[in-house]
Structure 1
Amino acid sequence: MDNTTHRAHDTSGTLDEALERLHSFGPEREGRLSNHAPMAVEALVRHGQAPGVHRWLDHYRTRLEDMPDRFTEVTPANWREALGDPRRIADWTAYFERETADRPWREVLAEWWPRLLPGIAAGATHPVIRVGHCVRTLLASGENAPRVAELAHGLGYWAARHQPLPPLTALAPAPTADAAAALDAVDRLPDQNGGIRERLGQLTGFPRWPGRPVTDPDLARTRLQELVHAATAPDAVLRTLPALPRELWAPSLGAAWAAGAAVTAAYFPAQPAGYPAAPDGLTPEEVFAQAAAHGDDHTIKFTDTALDVGGPAALAAALRSVELNPPVL
């Protein structure tokens, strides 16, 4: 993975200011659309675009809704019945704020990661992506109140939108050891109408990948690096691995494959479109600068992941996202 453009430390404090601005808002709008701002501002700051973050947030403000009202407190005794209840977004966020105030954030993450992992498809994988952005900053730049609060918001969103996949038929191994080719072997859902819940409800099964179960943590990390070509959800899992106990790495690979295959089945077009190669000499920094100037939250997030993958094809895909999404700024 190409990390050459990463800026590990934000000495300006811009990210923390942005997170504090965002924590009075909920993780969704209109009852279903994800708030991408916490993820986008983390990517902007990480790639040297901190001076434009607050201006970007001013534009994004119209897409934000206040945090929903509290419903019923989540406790260690009732959390199972609250899991997957979107009415409890504020309750879950408050629960994780208490948990991370009382214990180290890594301990809370390690406890809840295996509980939440079966519902990785929650919110079209946006909750795990939000957690991945947050953990990346906590590992690279250290912890403070806004960053730990952001983890509480991400985990709370994931718990409230927790969505296990339907029971799936055990299919044969994918006819390839290559992750990208394995995703090509996933059958596209014939009906791609409706939102993520309606689409995932149609799943009956998809090929197993890797063909044999992976138990070695280091091999699981290697396979997950291959799967990151499926974009942001597997990349979020990969970003989180260093903060997790090694015994959770192999289960994380399995969940990331399930999420990548499910989203591929739900959204992959009948005929993939071609795209031009990236111009010779174009640097990752220049590609991200184009995404930042474009301003679309999806474009920023996707380009951030593309730079993690690295290479000409990833840069070309990032430039294609600039073309496909309407500009914001």
Structure 2
Amino acid sequence: MFTSLKGIYPDPSAGERLPSLIADIGRHSGEFPVLLANHLPMVLEAMGRLGASPARLEEYAEHYTRIHAVPFPAAQLGQLDASNWETVLGQREHEGDLRRFFQGVVGEIGGHAAIRRYLPRLFPGVAASATHGLMRLAYAVLRSDDTEIAVALGYWAATYLSYDAIPADRRRDAIDPVSLLLDMHADPRLRNIDAPTYLLWKWIEAVGKVPAFRERLGRLAPSPDLLGRMRPASLALFAATMSFEALHAVTGCHWLRLVSPHLDEPQRLAMHFWEVVMALYTKIDMPTLPSPEVLDQWRTVRVPPDEIIAAAAVASNDEHDHSLVFSAFEEFRDTGDPLYKVVAARRMGLIDFDANALQGQVTG
């Protein structure tokens, strides 16, 4: 098996270069103009684990920072502490202040303890920066990087986005995340939603104001096996659509899996994350999901070796290629489901996939 799937950098010198490179890049803001997520600290780690050389990592870091004009956080606006940090949730201009607050917390009690203590307050706002606050935290946990944990908590808090005013007495009677999607599919009120589309998080925010969608919020039960149910549902949705939105469902489940061991009630974070997936489901016209039989046929599609898929991702300048392929490999490691490798190969254009004939062939 490809060595990076065991958490080893195929090029050991990349592993030596990454800490200082990510530390330098990590000083930049979590977003760049206009309100788009800065993936760079995370995808550099993914690229390294997929086999990138130090030269490729440095080249991509320079390219990304330059073309996106990634800024630094705003200068200090105020002093935050445990008594007042929540008053600036969702206020991007306070990203620097929130970073400094969490740097103090992490310095005092450590990164993992900070996650356990403070992240539950941020659960409802997991849509922060279109879930990329979660991404940054997950990669910080993957790296056991306390500096990045503090940055990620500050980023998540500054871009916090939640669905508010859900009735407290609403019955959490849904245990299957797929059933909620199918229920939405059958509701014509959720079609042709008029919402801004240039930012993913703006769509998530806008859908949260649609009455027919709000009826479904708060219904998912935070059962202990919720993430285990969400992962195959997300994979099926992405395999069926290969959409940008469903890609974030697959990668997001990986991020949840990384963060969950550091939480007392990880299923509550998963519950809020799935409501974000539900919002994005409306953006891709709420397709039906493939049957188990069709998914099983797709699993038989022949794909290139891991090294070829990984090399294609490393060579790409699209941060979503690095993110998807690394998460797909990691989820395959954990589940053994070959469909993860099929969607990774498809994303990289390495197989010709005829969804009607249910066949795929290696290109080139």
Q: TM-score range by the shorter chain?
A: 0.7 to 0.9
CA RMSD of aligned residues (A): 3.2
What amino acid does structure 2 have at the position aligned with 1:56? Y
Cα offsets for 1:28-64 (capped at 9, x unmatched): 1114011110111111122232432112112112122
On the 8 A contact 1:233/1:260 being kept in 2, the answer is no
1:43 aligns with 2:43: no
CA contact (8 A) 1:209 1:257 kept: no
**2:61 counterpart of 1:61:** no
8 Å CA contact 1:171–1:205 kept in 2: the answer is no
Q: What is aligned with 1:287?
A: 309
Mapped contact 2:166–2:217 kept (Cα < 8 A): no
Residue 227 of structure 2 is aligned to residue 201 of structure 1:
no
| Cα shift at 1:151 | 1.1
Correspondence for 2:78 among 67, 72, 82: 72
Q: Pick closer, same or farther for the CA change 1:14–1:180 going to 2, 3 Å.
A: farther
- Contact 1:234–1:260 (8 Å) recurs in 2: no
State the partner residue of 2:256.
237
Change in 2 beyond 3 A, CA 1:71/1:158: same
Rounded Cα–Cα distance in structure 1 between residues aligned with 2:219 and 2:165: 19
Q: Shift of the alpha carbon at 1:126?
A: 0.8
Q: Could you tell me how far 1:313 is from its partner in structure 2?
A: 3.3
For residues 344 and 219 of structure 2, the distance between their equivalents in structure 1, rounded to whole angstroms, comes to 27
- In structure 2, distance between residues paired with 1:25 and 1:16: 15
Residue 96 of structure 2 is aligned with which of 74, 90, 93? 90
1:134-145 equivalences in 2 (<5 Å): 134-138=140-144
TM-score between the two structures when normalised by the length of structure 2: 0.73
Match of 1:314 in 2: 340
Q: Matched residues in 2 for 1:256 and 1:270: separation?
A: 17
Aligned partners of 1:130 and 1:316: how far apart in 2? 26
Long gaps (5+) in structure 2: 236-248, 291-296, 350-364
* Contact 2:126/2:161, CA 8 A, preserved across alignment: yes
CA shift digits 1:233-274 (9 cap, x unpaired): 232111111223xx3122123122222222323x324669x9
Cα 1:172–1:75, aligned 2, differ >3 Å: closer, same or farther?
A: closer
Query: What is the one-letter code of the residue matched to 1:165?
Result: Y
Q: 2:35 aligns with which of 32, 36, 58?
A: 32
Structure number with higher relative contact order (C-alpha < 8 Å, ≥ 6 residues apart): 1
The equivalent of 1:327 in structure 2 is none
- Partners of 1:318 and 1:92 lie apart in 2 by 36
Larger Rg: 2
How is 1:160-199 mapped onto 2 (pairs within 5 angstroms)? 160-168=158-166, 177=176, 179-180=177-178, 182-187=180-185, 190-194=193-197, 195=199, 196-197=201-202, 199=204
Q: Under a length normalisation based on structure 1, what TM-score does the superposition of the two structures give?
A: 0.80
The code of the aligned residue for 2:340 comes to: A
Structure 1 regions of 5+ residues with no counterpart?
139-146, 324-329
